[in-house]
Amino acid sequence: MAAPPAPALSPGRQKAGWILRPEALMLRARAEVGPAFTLELPIGPAVFLADPVTIREVFTGDPEVFRAGEGNAPLEPVLGPASLLLLDGPEHLRRRRLLLPPLHGERLAGQRAAMERITAADVASWPRDVPFALEPRMRQITLGIILRLVFGLAEGPRHDELRGRFAQLLPRGAGNLALVPALRRELGGRSPWGRFMANVRAIDGVLLAEIAERRGAGDLEERTDVLSLLMTATDEDGRPLEDRELRDELMTLLLAGHETTATALAWTFELLFRHEEAYAALRADPGGPWLDAVCSEALRLRPPLPVVVRRLATRTTVAGHDLPAGTRVAPCIFLAQRDPVAHRTPHAFRPERYLGVAPQPLTWLPFGGGTRRCVGAAFAQLEHRTVLRTVLEHVAPRAADPRPDRPARRTIVLSPARGARAVV
Ligand code: HEM
């Protein structure tokens, strides 16, 4: 059987739906066509996979066949050619082995206190009795955490400059702009793309200066931030990362780890506000058993990255369909996590389903799986729990709007359209 059919919608309406109402489009296609369907996306057609077993086959399949790096190529001007996200095959595995240890284990546990401090300092500046959007606050907090714990920057001029420049780099829509190669005209720095790239180069300057200074400072071995650990790491051949490669991995960790975690947190508050039992239990005991349950359920119902993409290097059979080389295959995290067989009431926020019960990896996969599973998953999960708990230890925000927020596309993530508005 060739590629699976598309839902009964014109290609134009599929593309528009993907931008404007992606959840409704995916649910409709799944109901109309089945667990494998084709959708016409703005980047071209993709074969969506909703069946958890098929998705696992793709995640654990031959990485030389299911290539992820190629699909991320439009991000190269920002990430740089050495970015983990752009590599495939043995190169990718070698780089992953360098990046994983600094983001795991004991080192991670030592970072909780800094996460608490950064969160508490931000909460102290929140308005009282006036509605405000939580999502931008969460982005401030997750950016602060990355600058401190991944980049290793203490408060100071370099920290402030990067914070300002990253805020300009990542506003609503800038990522979309960067993804449209036709708009990439610098025009001497006057076009949007020109300003965007000028900002990227300024960031490069700051990062390369920081790397050079740290090499000279002599305290590299004592430092515990991710950059310092990467600077002292070597691959199997004893080769350390070069400065440009370090720069590319820092940008990669920032882009992959900043908005995803902020979005997860914004949804968690938005959903929690509307579940009285879970909210009351968490308020009474912010570090108690509901913490894991609420975080897991928020990531199940609203995964920040609803799909991931692979490109087939050779003709391959996927879910019984014979697909030619070059086909985009899209394991759909969103639909697998709403699988009605695996989850009772799959479209409802029910954290109680995970009280004392660990999520099943087959149908709970917000961090993907296999050889490209999120390298920041442990870091993100610690951050998710620590920020949520610390906020609730200090204040008791409530939903500012009676109607639940709905998902809207924000660069690569689906985040709350109104920003998860709250009042303290
Ligand atoms: C709740 C927060 C997060 C979510 C939901 C998330 C989700 C994901 C997913 C689904 C993938 C797999 C992409 C694919 O299969 O193509 C991924 C990859 C990745 N993530 Fe995360 N992520 C989060 C936080 C983070 C953080 C905090 C960092 C870094 C500090 C990070 C760094 C990365 C990197 C570098 C990759 C690429 C891995 C590779 O290609 O081998 N992520 N993430």
Q: Taking a C-beta distance cutoff of 8 angstroms, is the pair 26, 306 a contact?
A: yes
Q: Check if 211 has its Cβ closer than 6 Å to any atom of ligand 1.
A: no
What separation in Å is there between the alpha carbon of 277 and the centre of ligand 1?
Answer: 31
The answer to whether the beta carbons of residues 49 and 312 sit under 8 Å apart is no
72 C-beta closer than 6 A to ligand 1: no
Evaluate whether residue 312 is within a structural domain: yes
Q: Residue 290 in contact with residue 281, Cβ under 8 Å?
A: yes
Mutate to test the pocket of ligand 1, among 374, 379, 413, 415 (most ligand atoms within 8 A of CB): 374
CB distance 84 to ligand 1 below 6 Å: yes
Alpha-carbon distance 262 to 384, whole Å?
9
**Ligand 1 center–CA 85 separation, angstroms:** 9
Using the 8-state DSSP alphabet, how is residue 130 labeled? S
Place of tokens 């959708």: 39
Closest residue by Cα to atom 36, ligand 1, is 374
Q: Is the C-beta atom of 267 inside 6 A of ligand 1?
A: no
User: Would you say the CB of residue 380 lies under 6 angstroms from ligand 1?
Assistant: yes
Torsion of CA 392, 394, 396, 399, to 10 degrees: -70
- Classify residue 325 as exposed, middle or buried by CB count within 10 Å of its CB (0-12, 13-18, 19+): exposed
Task: Please tell me what DSSP assigns to residue 148.
Answer: I
CA 344–ligand 1 middle distance (angstroms): 27
Reference 413, options 189, 202, 263; nearest CA is 263
- Write out the H or E segment, with its range, that includes residue 265: helix 243-272
What separation in Å is there between the alpha carbon of 368 and the centre of ligand 1? 8
The DSSP-derived string for 21-89 is -HHHHHHHHHHHH-SEEEEEETTEEEEEE--HHHHHHHHHS-TTTEESTGGGGGGHHHH-TT-GGG--H
Cβ neighbourhood burial of 120 (10 Å; 0-12, 13-18, 19+): middle
In a domain, 60, yes or no: yes
CATH of the domain at 81: 1.10.630.10
Distance from residue 314's CA to the centre of ligand 1 (Å): 26
Q: State if pTM tops 0.75.
A: yes
Q: Determine, yes or no, domain membership for 92.
A: yes
**27-76 pLDDT, tens per residue?**
999 999 999 999 999 889 999 999 999 999 999 999 999 999 987 887 88
**Cβ contacts of residue 200 below 8 Å, gap of 6+?**
77, 78, 169
Give the structural domain span for 197. 11-423
- Cβ(381) – ligand 1 distance below 6 Å: no
Distance 103 CA to ligand 1 centre (A): 12
Give domain status of residue 6, yes or no. no
Tell me, using a 6 A CB cutoff, whether residue 305 lines ligand 1: yes
Count of the separate structural domains present in the chain? 1
Q: Is the CB of 379 under 6 A from ligand 1?
A: yes
Q: What is the pLDDT along the chain (424 residues), one digit of tens a residue?
A: 789 999 999 999 999 999 889 999 999 999 999 999 999 998 899 999 999 999 999 999 999 999 999 878 878 888 899 999 999 999 999 999 999 989 988 788 889 999 999 999 999 999 999 999 999 999 999 999 999 999 999 888 999 999 998 887 765 544 455 555 555 666 666 677 888 888 899 999 999 999 999 998 888 888 889 999 999 998 888 889 999 999 999 999 998 999 999 999 999 999 999 999 999 999 999 999 999 999 999 999 999 999 999 999 999 999 999 999 999 999 999 999 999 999 999 999 999 999 999 999 999 999 999 999 999 999 999 999 999 999 999 999 999 999 999 998 877 789 999 999 999 9
Of ligand 1's listed atoms, the one at least distance from the Cα of 333 is: 10
345 torsion bin: left (phi>0), alpha (psi -120 to 50), beta (else): left
pLDDT of residue 2: 87
Instruction: Kindly state if the Cβ of 367 falls inside 6 Å of ligand 1.
Output: yes
Q: Kindly state whether residue 4 falls inside one of the protein's structural domains.
A: no
Tens digit of pLDDT for each residue in 108-118?
888 999 999 99
Q: Is residue 51 part of a domain?
A: yes
Instruction: Give whole-number Cα distances, 313 to 42, 46, 163, 289, 316, in Å.
Output: 21, 14, 39, 45, 9
**Inside any domain, residue 3:** no
Contact 79, 248 (CB under 8 A): yes
